[in-house]
Amino acid sequence: MRRAALFLALALTFIARPALATENVTDFVLDNGMQVVVIEDHRAPLAVHMVWYRAGSADERPGASGAAHFLEHMMFRGTETRAPGEFSERVAANGGNDNAFTSYDYTAYFQRVAADRLGLMMEMEADRMANLLLRPELVETERGVILEERNQRVENEPGSLFREQTSAAQFLNHPYGAPIIGWRHEIEALSREDLNAYYTRHYAPNNAILIVAGDVTPDEVRRLAETHYGPIPANPAVTERARPQEPPQRAPRRVTMEDARVAQPYVTRSWLAPERDPGDQRQAAALVLLSELLGGGQTSVLTTALQYDNPVAVFTSAFYGATSLDRTRFGVVVVPAQGVGLAEAEAALDAEIARFLETGVDAEALERIKFGLKASRIYQQDNVQSVAQRYGRALTSGLALEDIAAWPGILDSITGEEIMAVARDVLVPERSVTGWLRAPEADKTANTEVMQ
């Protein structure tokens, strides 16, 4: 019954908003190498202005983890002509809001404003692209802010610490093994020179993508971009990114973390997995569908098997980061039910994955998932900022506009056989990390005390 109602709702949505299914995208490149993408959406007199740098935490100098994120903070702390904090104050004074985010492969800055304020946004963003002033005393202040952010988000969250440790175990060589926010001891040691080196090396128009989405025209964006970003010279030091890649992973790894603050223990397993590559997205698309089949919602394979048929778990899920410059992780999570141990939960997970690899994909489930992905893509198109973010993530992950355009069709055309082929390729023990997070057991505590 519930499923039928959902289908009906989706069908109505499709009928109600057909015009949004097509994205009106124009792209061009400025003379200094800055890529510009314009996504027109004239439903409201608003614009989202974003600058994405093809540089994230995985582009940091080894030993300087956290530099990309630290620099992102410093981008709000003034330029040669603008005072610390002035950027966001002027955005707000003009009725807009702004923010920024750092990931493994990119750092992005955005403002959402009335469309007629676009020129001012570009003027200020171009200013901090070229003229950032890293005031030594503000670097120290900001370090305190970032360490406190790390305290709150990581040190005080056993689950976050656990993700750091399992991620480090997943990557034997690639910088994805280090946390985006940085290892604490390296944040503490980052110097103004480290931040400046990262800024000088990566912040340049030929390493940036300007995305403007909303009530704008390509001609207008081009004129404004040439005025504000055009005068900044290209940096010849910008080269194609080449990070250390993984060697063959030959041995399954297990990570067991105990933390007295853990109220709800759980098991994770992740595998090194391929990502979306330009002109080569079918494996990644199959993995997206696989993650939905295994762990996406109440009718998924793991949920049905481990929460209903043989109720050993209270929660199951699957995750996969398709949009990534280098190889990424495919993973599953099982939170055991009260009284069920992690070993039992893991054994049930193993059994269910083995069964899935033997029985294959349920055709009806696959169709339902494809339909759901289409629906959520269409819902997402209502939010111009989400659309712009999708473009930014893909473009900074090495993909081209054609890949973005092809992606929905590829997702829709993936067969059950392709999903099973990629599942057999990826879900192998050699490239897996199994993680257990739990509170110390009573007898284990005694043992640990002896060993301490």
Query: Following CA atoms 135, 138, 140, 144 in sequence, which dihedral angle do they give, to the nearest 10 degrees?
Result: -160
Residue 350's CB is within 10 A of a number of other CB atoms, namely 12
Give the nearest distance from C-beta 55 to a second copy in angstroms: 16
Q: What SS3 state is found at 5?
A: helix
Among 247, 279, 339, 409, binds a second copy (CB under 8 A): 247
> Of the two residues 369 and 420, which places its CB atom closer to a second copy in the complex?
420
Q: How far is the CB of 414 from a second copy (least distance, A)?
A: 21
Structure-token pair, residue 203: 């912040």
We find the least distance from the C-beta atom of residue 191 to a second copy, in angstroms, to be 11
d(CA 207, CA 201): 9
Contact residue for a second copy among 37, 257, 293, 322 (CB under 8 A): 257
Please confirm, yes or no, whether 72 is among the known catalytic residues.
Answer: yes
Q: How many residues bind a second copy (CB under 8 A)?
A: 49
Q: Does 265 bind a second copy (CB under 8 A)?
A: no
Among positions 398-437, residues that touch a second copy (CB under 8 A) are 424, 427-429, 435
Write the interaction track for a second copy spanning residues 138-167; mark x where CB under 8 A is met and - where it is not.
-----------------------xx-xxx-
Among the residue ranges 36-44, 80-88, 107-115, 442-450, the one whose residues contact a second copy (CB under 8 A) = 442-450
Interface with a second copy in residues 330-359 (CB under 8 A): 354, 357-358
Instruction: Output 263 or 450, the one with its CB closest to a second copy.
Output: 450
| CB burial of residue 134 (10 Å; 0-12, 13-18, 19+) | middle
Length of the chain: 452
Mind giving me the DSSP string for 154-202? IIT-HHHHHHHHHHHHH-SSSGGGS-TT--HHHHHH--HHHHHHHHHHH
Neighbours of 441 (CB within 10 A): 13
| CB 47, CB 213: distance < 8 Å | yes
Taking Cα atoms as reference points, which of 444, 446, 395, 421 lies closest to residue 276? 395
Residue 399 DSSP label: -
SS3 percent helix, strand, coil of the chain, rounded to 5, is 50, 20, 30
From 208, 204, 258, 210, select the one nearest 232 (Cα to Cα): 204
Q: Which is nearer to a second copy, 78 or 295 (CB)?
A: 295
Residue with Cβ nearer a second copy (40 or 258): 258
DSSP string, 106-165: -EEEEEEEEGGGHHHHHHHHHHHHH-B---HHHHHHHHHHHHHHHIIIIIT-HHHHHHHH
Q: In the complex, what is the shortest distance from the CB of residue 153 to a second copy, in angstroms, rounded to a whole number? A: 15
Site for a second copy in 33-92 (CB under 8 A): 62-63, 65
The stretch near a second copy (CB under 8 A) out of 130-138, 252-260, 296-304, 369-377 is: 252-260
Cα-to-chain-centroid distance, residue 49: 19
Centre a 10 Å sphere on the Cβ of residue 72 and count the other Cβ atoms it contains: 19
Subset of residues 165 to 204 that bind a second copy, contact rule: CB under 8 A: 165-166, 168-169, 172-173, 175, 177-178, 183-186
Tokens representing 415 are 């067969």
User: Does 12 contact a second copy by CB under 8 A?
Assistant: no
Closer to a second copy at the Cβ: 35 or 57?
57
451 binds a second copy per the rule CB under 8 A: yes
User: Cβ closer to a second copy: 142 or 186?
Assistant: 186
Calpha distance 452→446 (Å, rounded) = 10
Which of residues 99, 131, 191, 448 is near a second copy by CB under 8 A?
448
Chosen residue from 22, 239, 338, 452 binding a second copy by CB under 8 A: 452
Using alpha carbons, select from 164, 320, 176 the residue that is nearest to residue 255: 164
Applying CB under 8 A, among 252, 341, 408, 416 the residue interacting with a second copy is 252
Q: Which residues are catalytic?
A: 72
Residues in touch with a second copy (CB under 8 A): 62-63, 65, 161-162, 164-166, 168-169, 172-173, 175, 177-178, 183-186, 242-245, 247-259, 354, 357-358, 424, 427-429, 435, 447-448, 450-452
